[in-house]
Structure 1
């Protein structure tokens, strides 16, 4: 019996970061993430501790000044969990072991492996129109020509069926032309006079166009064109265009790259018990009301894979303490660390060529969101001077100041420290590229050092460390890398050199865009090769070094997982020699897609709203642009037009019910009981009783109970779209558990949560996506579409004018493009 093939994970076009910034906001500037990596010791991309290749990056306590690491590790992109290993509790790296009890030097062998399919979204294309009726089936489609001459050689206009005419019939002689003179077409858009074939005139005795007129017994008649010998050219053209649009081939799909993100040294299951506030990852199995790993202390090939979204919780940082760490004051050592890695088994050179070609041929200018500056480009300064760019720069165009001069758009950019942080203007045309062109990414293929050591001769390197010989030459692979990163040409390629380079925005950009093919570190053969090379060096350095290497050997035997995953996961790379990519480089290229919400944008729509509230909303939306179906400018504009109408310029999270007594008559309840409108509505004698008003106008509606139940006030309008009624709160809870499965929140029990920025935003996304409004928005920027969406959002009013105005204002300004 054949096992059904597991479905591929959904393609994604966005890659994010493993943590938010220190204030809990989504990182939008790649530099903010790179700066967080600089203080980390022993875990930079390309070169780790002791001169070995390092295919990932380390994040540890040194990053806390920059990142919200206590909140857990975020999944980098939409994908599927294909394998993991969760330790029941930490192992102990203490040499010789300590038996039962506390782990003095705890370390995790746990990991989570996620598979992603990176693919550009299709270029925007108009929807295919419905078919229209072929021309000619209706008599009204027909007509004939009006000629300039009696012989019918010079057509000057087309006259549709029913066109009124004044015709001078004249005497008919057999064998002569059948054309008669038109003295007035009675249509200002047509030539006034001409000639027309008499057989296409209506023969109506009552109108004087019967047989008497044909025989010439009546000279001038009022008639109309009847049928004709040609089909309406406008309708024929429309039909031809409609047919062409319906037969239009689908746009060529973008190439797909399969990527894997590895999260190594995640927390043990026991650590969750010691940290009560930790949430359980949504990809754990649901058992008896809680989530647990399927199994522990072994590699689990997940079948079928579990879908996971960008930003979802992977787990928490686990311990990774080496055997040589020394306990202080009799306390166990702690070092929480994440090894993060992105790799691919695909043919990267072929993919890059295909993606670059596809992007150049298929993407419109609006999708080219990066500004590429090359060495030699000239900047114009405000004082009339010029500056010459001396190294490549890749900048996100949307974040740069712009101006238009003589129809040309210019962007203001800043050059690097080597040029004094000078600023100038450069013309945008010809310099915009798409992230899908992978600008600046360079391929380097390692073929000579499978153990990952930088030098071909470990013994000679040991002698160099002892001061007994020169530094041995680098392998060809490291020679090529040094040529890229050794900017001061001192011949040194070290972790310290990488630290210095990462501090420079432009050097860091180059390092993070290097793609290196190398043997993975996570096979048993790789670990043993690493250990053997390290021991050869240690033997030359002395007994203490040997002891340190030997103490690490048990841990090195525990860490590999590659062979188990390759055997259990369909489609996993057959070769352990894979392409490594810098997580920060990939995220910096794709994070935010071609769009990020900013406080500045939202302030234009909500000028009276507080900046902190706008920042919280922008952060939530930027984490979920794809998930909330806000992935096009048209959708974003429709979405916020609705929000602007519902929440107002001050972006209120709760419905205002401060009604005057007279205005309550618009509600059916108070229309029936007008004396209660005076009792509870605002008058000169007293303020409005908003609780009583809500309990009455929402009683016995939208899932609410009667007036006495208090449901009207409890489930009053909240959130960006003023979600109202118990039924909607209950439906939002179900949607939220599906979309955010790790957050088991019940909004029916905790309705006030909708008045916080996070859930106010998500409630609007629920109504948007849950009612299919994103699909309606795809129909276009028309008032009819605005009205159709508005009817869903607010079924209780017939006035759409204000909402349409919000939409038209934002669309005309291109605010969310």
Structure 2
């Protein structure tokens, strides 16, 4: 935790990596909102029930009879039961590749006509596009994208400062008042003038390699710069946006011309941030394709609902977000090969889904059908993890084997009969005598169907624009809403949901299908190929022309086309984003259906996970760490695979394979002179107190001298060096750090009055050793650094905060990559 902390050996055993025949690490998924009480959704049925409240914007056909590639969530619909204050969340691990931020919302205007008042309708063009990459099985990869349209404007964030802004918005680095470097004084000219203060610019970063570096200028307090390359906690200036010119490094000299592209420290000094990220205002009201995509985790903030008034009915409370998922044709072999792998290798993985088919009898009690057992009329899907976390009275494990020779769980589940009336009862999770109940695997994409039939290029659900207009204008034509009038694609979608019946009112039924949560579940398993709404705006003009041929001119159509021109984005990013489908004819996937199929619910840290990292630690120690962390992973900002991998990679280096909680000061005399400045200047003391052939080391005397007058410690005689030597899982060192831990402690552990100043040995106890690591993790902003990804540079940034001048940068990266590639924390959240 300090530059004086000795580095741990880098040649100790590292965690095992997964064998090639094991399934690759899975993506983490999250529903796009939490419930209004801040809790996570247990399964997708709860979300579908809320979406049924919406007045439109359904997948894959909206209430207006138009094709719709995503889903809408509005403040007045599903949003009434969602946590809107904490915003829209990213549905899966990925990286933001493009976005647009409205400085203020654009406004559509219509004049007063035919007795109707003039209209001013605001709308959001803001969006975020996230790229996701997944692999299953090994070698079979898929890139897909999630889109979040109609996000809140910057102006509204300024008005409501309690709302957190998205972290992926392009920022510049601003030098804070805590940066207090000044020019080197001159013998003749004296000290620098007032105001000549800021942040040193160096010729090269201070990092892993012993590169020669010198101060070549000073960036003024308040200056704002763009950062290009980064190494650890150092960033290279790409451009100076404000606050120039650079101050010379020495009084009376000129600033080095190379200072404008020199390196600055992006971290903390004396507990304060020397630079801070502030929003780059040059990126408002335009599509920003990020040259370096920004890592984002499942559940991270994307933005908040933006204002979106329909031209015909503007309302101050009309807030919404459009969410969709799409990919290219690689989805077909991806699903095929995943299913084939599961058919062959199902024994290697655990099932995650309980599927209850139609016509399944729900028993009155475990093993007993009972009289008039209700029968399901719908397909029901439950995450097995959600059932396991449900009430204990709703689950039962067979004590003895059944007639099939196996022992299985029984679950009490809710479903619906053929009339959609709610029913409930018990099912056996496998070989249920009352009907088809199976345990399934997410990677088999159970019940998902791909459709790529022909469709109306003007995005209606009908075969022709004429059929669409006949329907909406109630034309005196035969069979206007019939199945035969739908496009081949819409017809297939209809028959996927309505498997029986004549289809004489297919258009009406399909428009209203998503208002039934059970039908919505079925629709959420359709993967539909269709041209994106966000490309080819000319199709809407053609549709308006068709409409006006029947209804006459409508100025709202012209205004709508202007709005559409501002909303579309596809052509602006084509060829600029790796993995984006070449054609706008893409395969659309229901966002909630995708999350519901793949999300792992509430995984926890386990003893075997930690044993793989700390191979020499005692079982009691490891279990204590598990018990300390699991109940409050979110509070400790450890609720993701990425954060946990970074957290334990650093602890592995600090505490070693044995999870040592006290600093080992058993140094040889010659090592002391290399490790500590005091002993380099007092070599005789190194011989006296260090380990030699004649005597053992004196750890107490070493600590008192090595750490005297450092990190808040007093003199050698005070004994502070020994009293506040390195302890805890991240080696808390120095009185100042112990005091900081003491001050922070009540903010997380209100029911404990431990005193680490008077009783510093407490920090070596595994409970407090773990808590000291959590303190350092949170207090130094390491979770946010961890979220930047899994590259060496990210590991280096964290290492630099923990121990800037350590020689273990490479070892810590090795620790991280071994943990990450082994997938030790897959599913933990």
Whole-angstrom distance in 2 between the partners of 1:107 and 1:711: 48
| Structure 2: segments with no counterpart, 5+ residues | 1-23, 113-117, 175-275, 388-394, 432-436, 607-628, 652-657, 662-698, 701-719, 750-766, 790-811
Structure 1 contact 261–340 (Cα < 8 Å) conserved = yes
For 2:104, what is the secondary structure of its paired residue? Answer: coil
Cα distance in 1, alignment partners of residues 54 and 292 from structure 2: 36
Q: Is 2:99–2:127's contact at 8 Å kept on the other side of the alignment?
A: yes
Query: Deviation per CA, 1:642-673, whole angstroms, max 9, x where unpaired?
Result: 99x9xxxxxxxxxxxxxxxxxxxxxx99xxxx
1:85 corresponds to which residue? 100
In the alignment, structure 1 residue 531 sits paired with structure 2 residue 578? no
The 8 Å contact of residues 372 and 433 in structure 1, kept in 2 or not, is answered as yes
Give 1:92 shift: 0.5
Superposed CA RMSD in Å reads 4.9
User: Residue 128 of structure 2 corresponds to which residue in structure 1?
Assistant: 112
Is the 8 Å Cα contact of residues 88 and 297 (structure 1) preserved in structure 2? yes
Find the aligned partners of 2:357 and 2:417 in 1 and give their Cα distance.
15
CA distance in structure 2 between the partners assigned to 1:771 and 1:465 by the alignment:
64
Instruction: Report if the CA contact (8 A) 1:387-1:424 is conserved.
Output: no
Query: Contact (CA 8 Å) 2:28, 2:599: kept in 1 or not?
Result: yes
Q: 1:502 to 1:105 in 2, by over 3 A?
A: closer
Within the candidate set 53, 77, 88, 2:67 is matched to 53
Residue 299 of structure 1, CA deviation: 1.9
The equivalent of 2:340 in structure 1 is 357
Whether the aligned pair in 1 keeps the contact of 2:69 and 2:532 (CA below 8 Å) is yes
The equivalent of 1:428 in structure 2 is 430
In the TM superposition, residue 551 of structure 1 has moved relative to its aligned partner by 2.7
Q: Do the aligned residues in 2 keep the contact of 1:359 with 1:436 (CA within 8 Å)?
A: yes
Shift of the alpha carbon at 1:410?
3.5
Q: Which residue of 1 aligns with 2:408?
A: 409
2:586 is the counterpart of 1:578: yes
- Using the TM superposition, give the Cα deviation of residue 706 of structure 1 relative to its aligned residue in structure 2, in angstroms: 4.6
CA deviations on 1:36-82 (whole Å, 9 max, x unpaired) are: 21222220011124311000001111222221112122111111111
1:427 is displaced (CA, Å) by 4.6
Cα offset for 1:335?
Answer: 2.0
1:357 positional shift: 1.0
TM-score, normalising length: structure 2: 0.57
Q: CA deviation at 1:388?
A: 5.5
The 1:391/1:564 distance shift into structure 2, 3 A limit, reads same
Which residue in the other structure is 2:464 paired with? 457
CA contact (8 A) 2:119 2:314 kept: no
Give 1:516's aligned residue.
Answer: 528
Q: TM-score, normalised by structure 1?
A: 0.58
Conserved? CA contact 2:643–2:787, under 8 Å: no
Q: Deviation string for 1:584-627 (max 9, x for gaps)?
A: 000000112694799xxxxxxxxxxxxxx998757988952554
Measured against aligned partners, the alpha-carbon deviations of 1:740-795 in whole angstroms (never above 9, x if no partner) come to: 579xxxxxxxxxxxxxxxxxxxxxxxxxx9996996899999xxxxxxxxxxxxxx
Q: CA deviation at 1:507?
A: 2.7
With over 3 angstroms needed to count, the CA separation of the structure-2 counterparts of 1:105 and 1:467, relative to structure 1, is closer
Change in Cα spacing, 1:698 to 1:341, as seen in structure 2 (3 Å) is farther
Shift of 1:444: 1.0
Who is 2:292 aligned against? Answer: 304
Cα distance, 1:411 vs structure 2: 2.3
In structure 2, do the counterparts of structure 1 residues 698 and 731 end up closer, same or farther at CA, with 3 Å as the change threshold? farther
Q: What is aligned with 2:383?
A: 396
CA offset digits 1:664-691 (Å, max 9, x no partner) = xxxx99xxxxxxxxxxxxxxxxxxxxxx
Residue 408 of structure 1 aligns to a residue whose secondary structure is coil
Q: Secondary structure at the match of 2:543?
A: helix
1:25 CA drift (Å): 2.0
Q: Counterparts of 1:15 and 1:780 in 2: how far apart (Å)?
A: 15
Tell me, yes or no, if the aligned pair for 1:30 and 1:588 is still in contact at 8 Å: yes
Match of 2:491 in 1: 479
Counterpart of 1:25? 39
Which of residues 298, 302, 322 in structure 2 aligns to 1:339? 322
Q: Match of 1:588?
A: 596
Describe the shift of the 1:631–1:439 C-alpha distance in structure 2 as closer, same or farther (beyond 3 A): farther
1:390-437 deviation per Cα after TM superposition (whole angstroms, max 9, x unaligned): 543322223342321324214224363216514133252692221000
Q: How big is the shift at 1:95?
A: 2.3
Where does residue 325 of structure 1 map in the other structure? 313
For residues 324-723 of structure 1, the aligned pairs below 5 Å read 324-326=312-314, 333-364=316-347, 366-375=349-358, 380-382=363-365, 383-385=368-370, 389-400=376-387, 401-404=395-398, 405-406=400-401, 407-414=406-413, 416-418=415-417, 421-428=423-430, 431-470=438-477, 471=480, 473-486=485-498, 489=501, 491-493=504-506, 501-504=514-517, 506-523=518-535, 525=536, 527-543=537-553, 546-592=554-600, 595=603, 617=633, 624-625=640-641, 627-629=643-645, 699=724, 706=735, 710-711=739-740, 713-714=742-743, 723=770
Cα drift, residue 715 of structure 1? 5.3
For 1:548 and 1:778, how far apart are their aligned partners in 2?
55
Q: Distance in 2 between matches of 1:320 and 1:449?
A: 27
Cα offset, 1:462, TM superposition: 2.9
Deviations 1:79-104 (A, max 9, x none): 1111222222211112269xxxx994
Which SS does the other structure have where 1:588 is aligned? Answer: helix
Deviations 1:676-714 (A, max 9, x none): xxxxxxxxxxxxxxxxxxx99964655565599955732
Q: Name 1:291's counterpart in structure 2.
A: 278
The C-alpha deviation readout for 1:347-392, integer Å capped at 9, x for no partner, is 3222211111122323436521112333455655434436655543
Indicate conservation of the 8 Å contact 2:362/2:374, yes or no. Answer: yes
Partner of 2:242: none
* Contact 1:40/1:58 (8 A) holds in 2: yes
Q: Kindly provide the CA deviation profile for residues 205-260 of structure 1, in whole angstroms up to 9, marking residues without a partner as x.
A: xxxxxxxxxxxxxxxxxxxxxxxxxxxxxxxxxxxxxxxxxxxxxxx616222110
Which whole-Å CA distance do the structure 2 matches of 1:712 and 1:398 have between them? 37
SS, match of residue 592 in structure 2:
helix
Corresponding residue for residue 657 of structure 1: none
CA distance in 2 between partners of 1:709 and 1:738 (Å) = 23
1:12 touches 1:117 (CA, 8 Å); kept in 2? Answer: no
CA-CA distance at 1:536 after TM superposition: 1.7
Bigger Cα displacement from structure 2, 339-348 vs 566-575: 566-575
Separation in 1, partners of 2:743, 2:322: 47
SS of the residue aligned with 2:168? coil
CA distance in 2, matches of 1:263, 1:778: 30
Structure 2 vs 1, CA of residues 118 and 631 (structure 1 numbering), >3 Å: closer, same or farther?
Answer: farther
Partner residue of 2:81?
A: 66
| Counterpart residue number, 2:30 | 16
Give the whole-Å Cα distance in 1 for the aligned partners of 2:134 and 2:575.
24
Which among 150, 153, 175 is matched to residue 265 of structure 1? 150
Distance 2:820 2:283 in 1: 45
Q: What SS is found at the alignment partner of 2:91?
A: coil
Aligned to 1:651: none
Shift in Å at residue 565 of structure 1?
0.9
* Equivalent runs, 1:179-190 vs 2, <5 Å: none
Report Cα offsets for 1:462-482 as digits up to 9, x if no partner. Answer: 344343323161111111111
Displacement of 1:629: 4.5
SS at the partner of 2:385? helix
Distance in 2 between the 1:66 and 1:483 partners? 32
Q: 1:728 to 1:479 in 2, by over 3 A?
A: closer
Distance 1:446 1:594, change over 3 A: farther
Count of aligned pairs between the two proteins: 549
Question: Residues 390 and 266 from structure 1, CA distance in 2 versus in 1: closer, same or farther, beyond 3 angstroms?
Answer: closer
C-alpha contact (below 8 Å) 1:715/1:724 kept by paired residues: no
Distance (Å, rounded) in 1 between the aligned partners of 2:327 and 2:821: 34
- Name whichever of 279-288 and 260-269 sits farther off: 279-288
1:31 Cα deviation from its structure 2 partner: 1.6
Looking at both structures, which has the greater relative contact order when contacts are Cα pairs under 8 Å and sequence separation is at least 6?
A: 2
